Amino acid sequence: MTVLGDGAGSTTRAATQPAARGRSTRAWWHTNTGRRLTFGYLLLAPAALYVLLLVGIPFLFSLYLALSDASVGDQVSRFVGLGNFRAAWEMDTFRDALRNSIVFLVVAAIFKSVLGTSLAFLLLQNFKGKKLVRALVVIPFTLPITVSVLSWKWMYDSQFSVINWFLHKAGLIGGYGSESWPIWLGQPHLALLACIGVNVWRSFPFSAIVLLAGFTSVPTEVLDAARVDGCSFFQRFRHIVTPMIFPILIIGFLFDTVFTLSDLSVVYVLTQGGPGSATMILPMLAYQIGIQAGSLGRGSAIALMLVPLLFPALFLMLRNLKRRD
């Protein structure tokens, strides 16, 4: 997928526009440029308006909330400047949430890329039953998130976990009640891993498909030429394939990043942030404080904490993509 850019070239007609516009008796919007711009903005308008009205304005509202002491039940609130942000930093739980969110993102990304890439390679090959395999492998992504996470909750159950049953029968762990019986959602590190696991399970098929699309887009002539030149598989991969599919990788990666960082469902259903604050992540904390406890101001501040961090990174990456094009 290519990125924003100026297009492959301007229309020739614009270049032959009469220079002395003042002499033209046509109204601005009748000029070619005018027509093009009008047409363009008209096409853009529905999407831009939709997003501006339904996301942009609420976002400004949430900024206002983050800077005030609003609570869910109060119509009137006072400006408190950065007080909410400061208060958030002072919370142990907040620092844990920030750390966990980042760990979650990084670990999940690593797993998703490794699993996604391997699967994509496998799916590149031609074999019988490929369509069926592809069909099956996509299912985790298409199930509605609430129901699939609920199923995992039961699969991680401290007593009836199907995973534990399996590991026990395979002789890898002791029985129920023994030291080696994992309590997936009860031991701090395991719990975070369990949540990450569900996120990876859901998303790696998508990563694989996006990568697959990327791989199939690399023209075979280029690859063949490289093979003829004596490049090894890895050399080909690093120097030819990766740069060519870089745009796709970046977009997919960014998309997945924001979705993972703002996803509430997994932790909400599995652990509610527990045990202690081992799986507390920013959206969960923001929900707990902003909505359940009613302190909208503080909740908004927590939810928006990552925006200043991500915004520059995203901006730079997207501009970079444009340059590459």
Partner 1 sequence: MSDLQPAPTVQGSVSRRRFLKVTGGAVAGSSLLTMLDARQAPAQLRGTTLRILTWSHFIPAYDVWFDKFSAEWGEKNGVKVRVDHIPHLEIPARMAAEFAAGAGHDIILNNSTILARLYYKTLLDLTDVYDGLGKKYGGWIPAAKSPIEVEGRIYGIPMYYILLPMLWRKDLFEANGLKPPDTWELARVAARTLKPKGSPTGMAFSHCNDANLNWRSLMFSFGATETDASGDHPTIDSKEMREALRFAKALFDEGMTPEVFSWDDASDNRFLASGIASWIHDAISAYRTTESTNPPVFKNTFVGMEPAGPGGKRVSVSAPIVFLAWKFGKNPQATKEYLAHLVDNDKEGMIQSTGYNMPFLNDSAKKPMPIIGADPKLQVLQDFPKIVAFFGYPGPYTPQIQEVALQFVLPDIFTRVARGTSVDDAVKWGVGEYRRIFAKHKRA
Partner 2 sequence: MTTAAVPRTHRQKEIRRHLLLYAGMTPFLFIAVFPIYWMLITAFKQEPDLYRMGNIPFWFNLPPTLKNFETLFYQTNYGYWIVNTLTISAWVALITLVTAVPAGYALARLKLPGAENIGIAIFMTYLVPGIILFLPLSRVVASLGLQDSWWALVVVYPTFTIPFCTWLMMGFFKTVPMEMEEAARVDGCGQLSALVRVVLPVSLPGVLTSVIFAFTLSMQDFLYGLAFVAPGDQKPVPVGVPTELIRGDVFFWGSIMAAALLVGLPVAILYNFFLDKFIQGITGGVGK
By rule CB under 8 A, what string of x and - marks binding of each residue 250-269 to partner 2? -x--xx--xx--x-xx---x
Tokens of 37: 């711009």
Residue 315 interaction partner, one of partner 1, partner 2, none, beta carbon < 5-8 Å per kind? partner 2
Q: Where are the alpha helices (DSSP H) in 91-219?
A: 92-124, 130-142, 145-155, 162-169, 188-217
Tell whether residue 297 is a contact of partner 2 (CB under 8 A).
no
> Using an 8 Å Cβ cutoff, are 66 and 84 in contact?
yes
All residues at 6 or more sequence positions from 214 whose CB lies less than 8 Å from its CB, including other chains: 120, 244, 245, 248, 249
Q: Which is nearer to partner 1, 205 or 290 (CB)?
A: 290
Residue 193 interaction partner, one of partner 2, partner 1, none, beta carbon < 5-8 Å per kind? none
Q: What angle do CA 154, 156, 161 make, to 5 degrees?
A: 80
All residues at 6 or more sequence positions from 147 whose CB lies less than 8 Å from its CB, including other chains: none
> Which of 108, 50, 49, 140 is closest to 256 using CA atoms?
108
Residue with tokens 């050399």: 235
> Using an 8 Å Cβ cutoff, are 305 and 96 in contact?
no
Tell whether residue 8 is a contact of partner 2 (CB under 8 A).
yes
Provide the 10 A C-beta neighbour count for residue 142: 10
Q: Least distance (Å) from partner 2 to the CB of residue 151?
A: 5
Q: Which is nearer to partner 1, 120 or 191 (CB)?
A: 191
Dist. CA 63–CA 82, nearest whole Å: 11
Q: Least distance (Å) from partner 2 to the CB of residue 103?
A: 19
Residue 254 interaction partner, one of partner 1, partner 2, none, beta carbon < 5-8 Å per kind? partner 2
Q: Which of 17, 180, 216, 320 binds partner 2 (CB under 8 A)?
A: 216
Residue 187 interaction partner, one of partner 2, partner 1, none, beta carbon < 5-8 Å per kind? partner 1
Report CA Rg, the chain: 26
Identity of the residue numbered 315: F
Q: Least distance (Å) from partner 2 to the CB of residue 6?
A: 6
β-partners of residue 79 are 68
Q: Least distance (Å) from partner 1 to the CB of residue 170?
A: 21
Q: Which of 61, 174, 225, 238 binds partner 2 (CB under 8 A)?
A: 61
| Binding positions for partner 2, 21-50, rule CB under 8 A | 35-37, 39-41, 43-44, 46-48, 50
| Binding positions for partner 2, 141-200, rule CB under 8 A | 141-148, 150-152, 154-155, 159-160, 162, 165, 176
Q: Least distance (Å) from partner 1 to the CB of residue 263?
A: 16
Q: Least distance (Å) from partner 2 to the CB of residue 282?
A: 8
- Alpha carbon separation from 56 to 51, 59, 93, 122, 263 (Å, rounded): 6, 5, 29, 42, 20
Residue 272: CA count within 13 A, CB half-sphere: 4
Tell whether residue 300 is a contact of partner 2 (CB under 8 A).
yes
| Binding positions for partner 2, 74-113, rule CB under 8 A | none
Q: Least distance (Å) from partner 2 to the CB of residue 241?
A: 11
Q: Kindly list the residues in this chain that would bind partner 1 in the complex (CB under 8 A).
A: 69, 71-75, 87, 90-91, 93, 156-160, 177, 183-187, 191, 271-276, 287-289, 291-296, 298
